[in-house]
Structure 1
Amino acid sequence: MTKPITCFKAYDIRGELNSQLDEATAYRIGYAFAEELKAKTVVVGSDVRLTSTPLKLALSAGLIDAGANVTDIGMAGTEEIYFATKHLGVDGGIEVTASHNPINYNGMKLVKADSVPISGDTGLNAIKERAEQLTDEAVSQRLAYYTQGETIDADAFYNGHAHIKVSHLTDTGSYVEDSCMSAYVDHMLSYVNLDSFTPLKIVVNAGNGAAGPALDAIEAELASRQVPISFIKVHHEADGTFPHGIPNPLLPENRADTADAVIKHNADFGVAWDGDFDRCFLFDASGNFIEGYYIVGLLAAAFIEKNQDSKIIYDPRVFWNTEDIVANAGGTPIKSKTGHAFIKERMRKEDAVYGGEMSAHHYFRDFAYCDSGMIPWLLIAELVCVKKQSLASMVKARIEAFPSSGEINSKLKDADAALERATSKYKPLATVIDTTDGLGLEFDTWRFNLRKSNTEPVIRLNVESRGDIALMEEKTAELLSVIRDE
């Protein structure tokens, strides 16, 4: 029995390097994954972090020792694993990534066959238990074989030195490399009608993450089909040291480089991604950041236009705009608890064509109900061309009709007490009480959602109103005063 493994979270694996996640832990996870799923074929990939390849190779060694044949798609984004898992028809897929977490972290995202997510109660806890059952002696022996006796040095690992020898992976089992990139690009472009595209100039900011190579492949295919799109690339080269900071455009301080490039180059719009590019963030032609909430409504309307009577899944933090758009377009709006596992589960249950979260996660039925950071900007580009409207003009009226605060986080000593203060003050006055996810209270002309973080003493607030920005701002300030009154 080993000491408890502490990098398993509710929906994925994330941990501090060396102390929580190292090559030995990755080996354990690979072995346990194949054992628990009885997986004979598994696809693996890794983001640009220096430690991602070493972890992926150790993970592969564990998979192979448990009897799985491994296909490595190389440096890739999470959605490329989602695609490859379904495309190759394998028993599961694992992406080594820490997404937007600090540089001293890494992690993994795991799926079953058909890219069905694995979370705590759908297999992740069982994998953890199996991983902890492997003895230290057995793990050390197998790692000694795969490293050809090389001592695993923590500092070398942290700096991207892969101790596992690929030659020994192929000696022991089946380990092959196949990027699946051509098929992935074809699938991405299947969501739009390329004949409808008019000339566009788009700023793209990969943040030195995994999006760059995928975008290059899409760009090459667009050029071969003579689609008139040109790209201005910002922080494009993959670089695991992240010289311009961890890519997370959800943070306002990380948006200036994209916004400035849009203005400088007179682009039609801008796109920025997080590290593993399962989220994309959009900027209008003036460099203004467009909240993900309004992109959800835009894409929902586009899908309903193409697929009448479509079901659309959305999260409960802010939704009046989405509900209004979907209902007026003839679709069916369906509320789901926040989080990719819940959204995907509800989409499968309802066979919904599209799902969106305000956090810039967008889910697609034809993409195995998974989230993609490439499909949304392609759809937006198509809308700009077909409607002959700018991105700003397409969302302007919606922002005015349903102004929102964006998500505001408050770190507190006692999050439960803050939630109770807000409940006591506002619940007796509410016309609608919604506990789908946290506390959601509606009034005649405004509403709010208040959620506790699962991992830290933080309260997350979202406020929106019906066409009254001053009211939204007033209620936001009022709520923050109540929440933070410790």
Structure 2
Amino acid sequence: MDLSCFKAYDLRGRVPDQLNPTLAEKIGRAYVEITGAKKVIVGYDIRLSSPDITEALSSGLMAAGADVYDIGLCGTEQVYFATSHYGMDGGIMVTASHNPKDHNGMKMVGPESRPISSDNGLNDIRDRVLEPFANAPEQGRYETLEVMSAYVDHLLGYIDAGSLKPMTIVCNAGNGGAGLVIDELEQHLPFEFVKVHHQPDGHFPNGVPNPILPENRTATADAVIEHGAAMGIAWDGDYDRCFFFDENGRFIEGYYVVGLLADQFLRKTGGGKVIHDPRLTWNTLDLVKAAGGKAIESKTGHAFIKQRMRDEDAVYGGEMSAHHYFRDFAYCDSGMIPWLLIAERLCQSGQTLSSLIDARIEAYPASGEINRTINDPPKVIAAIEAKYSVGAKSVSFVDGLSVEFDNWRFNLRMSNTEPVVRLNVESRADKALMEEKTEELLQEMDRLNTN
């Protein structure tokens, strides 16, 4: 049996050779045997293969004795929400997020929506799939559960509805599931939504919903300009990540959104801890300190960030990859809470999104993440460390290699899944220096890669 769909954090693979209903049924059985779950939330995304895979998964869960609560077509965060809100033993979302349309996958959580990844049960589930199964003495029950209304109420609890003013917002669901939530929220908000690629459609007529790809940003940017919108928002397929465009249609790097959300959240809570990843940090550190909070660095990746947030009881966590985590959302990531907070900020401040962001880009210009295919990543990173740690103010290994000087810093880390090295560079108010050092590091990596 091909089990290559089991990854470090979740399951993803091509349908039907890497993931299919037969395997999904076994995964359901293995999930119950390994976790001991008795009540499990199940939801699925807009992919064409999702209903069949979900049905088979549910059959496996019930055959192993667990009750299934099916919340239907939804986003990953609704599985997180329902699992914690209704006190379930676990939850499984059938989704492949922004993978190609012939792929599917699963994201799994345990009680309180704690992530299940390769270091706490996912590998055990994978290994158990290979063994024979016997049915539980008592089959689990199946029922559907309506969570949209409770979820929407929860989302609205993050903002002060009285401070909102009418404005136009472009929203691009990428034919994923986000449009269904926007339609529900719309009834409670004074905003006019311009809806782009709004209908859920697993054929992905406008391409796979992945706004990280520059070619996928044009539709949102153009609509912002055409309608004179205050901002644009785009989501990936299961809408656990959201991406922002200012009123000029400019795509905003996720790094600057983390600082903005940290600042907005700390204003509400009057302080608290904020978790961030080590790739780009100075802007976040600056804003968190100014807002009376405490910034704490964590290894990149949702399992690490969520655990660190629990350990520190942090109010908010953000990654530059557009994942945003909230304490009151079971420490999970949401693609809906961030844009509500930023819309609220625009209404309360009377400022444009570009004016809020421009000052931060000027203060801390950043390269954005640059990926390079490298034959021997550890060798190249070790050589860069040897060269650049001389005269450095600090060298850290929280996630890859971070080297800091007085007026610029960089982070270099390996991909978990491919022979790729990822570089991020930032400076203090010196764009030319940031660009010069980025180019210098890339040339050095190329030279090391050919030697």
Name the TM-score class by shorter chain: over 0.9
CA distance in 2, matches of 1:204, 1:80: 19
Which one of the candidate residues 328, 332, 350 is aligned to 1:370? 332
Q: Identify the residue that residue 5 of structure 1 maps to in structure 2.
A: 3
Deviation, 1:234, is 0.2
Q: TM-score, normalised by structure 2?
A: 0.97
Within 1, Cα distance between the matches of 2:213 and 2:387? Answer: 30
Give the whole-Å Cα distance in 2 for the aligned partners of 1:48 and 1:26.
17
Show CA shifts across 1:324-377 (max 9, x none): 111122111100000000000000011000000000000000000000000000
User: Percent of pairs identical after alignment?
Assistant: 59
Report the Cα distance in structure 1 between the residues aligned to 2:160 and 2:46, rounded to whole angstroms: 32
- Partners of 2:432 and 2:408 lie apart in 1 by 11
Match of 1:103 among 94, 101, 116: 101
In the other structure, the counterpart of 1:168 is none
User: 1:295 maps to what in 2?
Assistant: 257
2:322 match: 360
In the other structure, the counterpart of 1:55 is: 53
On the 8 A contact 1:4/1:132 being kept in 2, the answer is: no
Paired with 1:4 and 1:397, the residues of 2 have a C-alpha distance of: 51
Which one of 69, 84, 108 corresponds to residue 82 of structure 2? 84
1:407 aligns with 2:405: no
Which residue in 1 is equivalent to 2:179? 212
> Which residue matches 2:149?
182
Q: Aligned to 1:40, which of 38, 41, 47?
A: 38
Matched-pair contact (CA < 8 Å) for 2:412–2:423: yes
Q: Could you tell me how far apart the structure 2 residues matched to 1:303 and 1:9 are?
A: 33
Q: 1:448 to 1:77 in 2, by over 3 A?
A: same
Contact (CA 8 Å) 1:310, 1:353: kept in 2 or not? yes
* CA-CA distance at 1:460 after TM superposition: 0.5
Aligned to 2:194: 232
Name 1:430's counterpart in structure 2.
392
Deviations 1:39-82 (A, max 9, x none): 11101011111111111111001000000110111111100100
Matches of 1:133 and 1:5, distance apart in 2: 13
CA distance in 1, matches of 2:65, 2:338: 38
In structure 1, what is the equivalent of residue 15 of structure 2?
17
Where does residue 304 of structure 2 map in the other structure?
A: 342
Q: CA deviation at 1:481?
A: 1.0
Rounded Cα–Cα distance in structure 2 between residues aligned with 1:399 and 1:99: 29
Q: Which amino acid aligns with 2:315?
A: V
Does structure 2 retain, via aligned residues, the 8 Å contact 1:28–1:62?
yes
- Contact kept? 1:304, 1:330, Cα under 8 Å: yes
Q: Give the AA of the match of 2:110.
A: K
8 A contact 2:258–2:324 mirrored in 1: yes
| 8 A contact 2:259–2:287 mirrored in 1 | yes
* One-letter amino acid of the structure 2 residue matched with residue 401 of structure 1: A
Matched residue of 2:104: which SS? strand
Of 170, 178, 190, the match for 1:203 = 170
Tell me the CA shift for residue 173 of structure 1: 4.0
The alignment yields a C-alpha RMSD, in angstroms, of 1.5
| 8 Å contact from structure 1 (residues 210, 238) kept in 2 | yes
- Tell me how far apart the structure 2 counterparts of residues 342 and 426 of structure 1 sit (CA, whole Å): 27
For this pair of structures, how many residues does the alignment match? 447
Corresponding residue number in structure 2 for 1:117: 115
Render the CA deviation track for 1:365-409: whole Å, top value 9, x for unaligned: 000000000000000000000011111111111110000011011
Structure 1, unaligned runs of 5 or more: 143-170
SS of structure 2 residue aligned to 1:120: coil
Structure 1 runs of 4+ with >6 Å offset: none
Cα distance in 1 for residues equivalent to 2:196 and 2:383: 45
Confirm or deny: 8 A CA contact 1:234 1:258 kept in the other structure: yes
Task: Output the CA distance in 1 between the equivalents of 2:402 and 2:325.
Answer: 23
Q: Is the Cα–Cα contact under 8 Å of residues 418 and 482 in structure 1 kept in the other structure? A: no
Task: Output the amino acid matched with 1:10.
Answer: A
Per the normalisation by structure 1, the TM-score is 0.90
**In the alignment, which residue of structure 2 is the partner of 1:450?**
412
Alignment of 1:417 onto 2:405? no
Q: 1:429 deviation in Å?
A: 3.0
- Runs of at least 5 residues in structure 2 that lack an aligned partner in the other structure: none
| Structure 2 Cα separation of the partners of residues 418 and 107 of structure 1 | 33
CA–CA distance in structure 1, aligned partners of residues 376 and 214 of structure 2 = 26
Deviation at 1:253, TM superposition (A): 1.5
One-letter code aligned to 1:198: K
| Cα distance in 2 for residues equivalent to 1:367 and 1:104 | 31
8 Å contact from structure 1 (residues 316, 338) kept in 2: yes
Shift of 1:195: 0.5
Residues 17-48 of structure 1, C-alpha deviation per residue, up to 9 Å, x if partnerless?
22211111111111011111111110101111
State the Cα deviation string for residues 95-135 of structure 1 (Å, max 9, x = none).
00000112222110000011111111111111112212136
Cα contact 1:5–1:132 (8 A) shared by 2: no
Quick one: which amino acid aligns to residue 176 of structure 1? Answer: E
1:143-174, Cα deviation, whole Å (9 max, x unpaired): xxxxxxxxxxxxxxxxxxxxxxxxxxxx9641
User: Does 1:331 pair with 2:293?
Assistant: yes
CA distance in 2, matches of 1:33, 1:435: 34
